[in-house]
Amino acid sequence: MEAASSSPTQCRYSYEVYKETADWLLAHTEQRPKVAVICGSGLGGLADMLSDKICVPYKDIPHFPVSTVMGHAGQLVFGKLQGRECVCMQGRFHFYEGYNIHTVTYPVRVFFLLGVDTLIVTNAAGGLNDSYNVGDIMLIKDHINMPGFAGQNPLCGHNDERFGVRFPCMSDAYERALRDLAKQTAKEQGCDSFLQEGVYCMLAGPTFETIAECRVLQTLGADAVGMSTVPEVVVARHSGMRVLGLSLITNKVVTDYESNDKANHEEVLKTTQRRTHDLQRLVSNLIIKI
Ligand SMILES: *[C@@H]1O[C@H](CO)[C@@H](O)[C@H](O)[C@H]1NC(C)=O
C-alpha cells in the first residue's frame, strides 16, 4: 500500500480530501456556481469583471496547491456576471512547476464537488497553423495529450467511481454546442474575424519547442501548442462536465532554421494584454448564455 501511494502515477488524494476542500469552500461562500473558468497566463482579469466578488487565496484553502508562475495571482474568485454565478481560478497549476499531475488537476475535482457542471478553460498558446495570426483566439476542437502518451495522465491509478468511469470517452471532450455558442457570441461582438477552431497539443514544458518538434506537431495535425489545459479537461470530462476551451495565440512558433525569431514569455504576456479585453468579453458574454 505504501509503495502504491508513493508511486508517481497513483493519485495521492482520496475522495475525502477533495470533499474537505469543497465543504470548506461551501462554508465560506453562499454562492453555488454552475460554471468554472480557469484563467490562463495573463488572463486573470476576467475575474475582475465579476460582481459580489469573494476572493479566496489558494494558500487559505485546505489541501489546495499554491501557484508560483509570473502573471498568476493564485486565488479562487467567486462572483456574478449579470446575475450568473461563476467561479474563476486566477492562476493555474502547471506540470512544469514540478506538481504531480494529480495536483495540477486538483481544483477541477473540487469544482465538481461544488456542483459545477461546465468548465471553461483558457490558455496562451503558440500558433503552429500557418494561417493563424498572433492575437487570434482559437476554439479548441480537440486535443493531443502528449504527456498522456508518456504515461502522465491524471486518471492513472485507482479509479474512484464517485468521480467517473474507469475508461472515459474523450472523442467528444470539447462540446460542439458550446463551440457553436462561442462562434455565435464571437460574431455578435465582432471578433469572428480572428476566431479560429483547431487542435491544441499539450507538451510538458517548461522549454519552448525546438524547430524539429514544431514540425513534428504540425505533421500530427496540431494547430496550437501549449503547456496546460489538457489534464484539467481530462479530469472534467471524467466527471461528466461540459468543456469549452479557448487558446489565445500569443506567438507563432519557429519552424525555419533561417529565422531569428525566438519564443519568449514576455512576448506571450504582451500579446495577451492586447487581446485580453476581447477574450474576457467573449467568455463573459458566453457564460450569460450557457
Ligand atoms: C489551419 O487552419 C485552417 C483554418 O482553420 C484550416 O482550414 C487548415 O486545415 C489548418 N491547416 C492545417 C495544416 O491543419
User: What are the structural domain ranges in the chain?
Assistant: 15-289
3-state secondary structure of 100: coil
- pTM, two decimals, is 0.90
Averaged pLDDT score across all residues of the chain: 89
Q: Is the pLDDT of residue 4 over 50?
A: no
Question: Can you give the pLDDT at residue 9?
Answer: 66
- Does ligand 1 lie within 6 Å of residue 129's CB atom? yes
91-105 mean pLDDT: 90
Question: CA-CA distance, 222 to 55, in Å (whole number)?
Answer: 36
270-274 mean pLDDT: 73
CB atoms within 10 A of CB 1: 5
Question: Can you give the pLDDT at residue 5?
Answer: 45
Query: Which residue in 67, 100, 129, 228 is the catalytic one?
Result: 228
Encode pLDDT of 173-226 as tens digits.
999 999 999 999 999 998 888 899 999 999 998 999 999 999 999 999 999 999
Q: Best mutation site among 128, 131, 193 for ligand 1, i.e. most ligand atoms within 8 A of its Cβ?
A: 131
Q: Which CATH number fits domain 15-289: 3.40.50.1580, 3.30.70.60, 3.40.50.620, 3.40.50.300?
A: 3.40.50.1580
102 is an active site residue:
no
96 is an active site residue:
yes
- Name the amino acid, one letter, at 234: V
Query: Which residue in 96, 153, 159, 267 is the catalytic one?
Result: 96
Crossing angle of the two packed helices 230-238 and 106-114, in degrees rounded to 10: 40
Contacts of 222 (CB under 8 A, 6+ apart): 128, 144, 198, 199, 200, 201
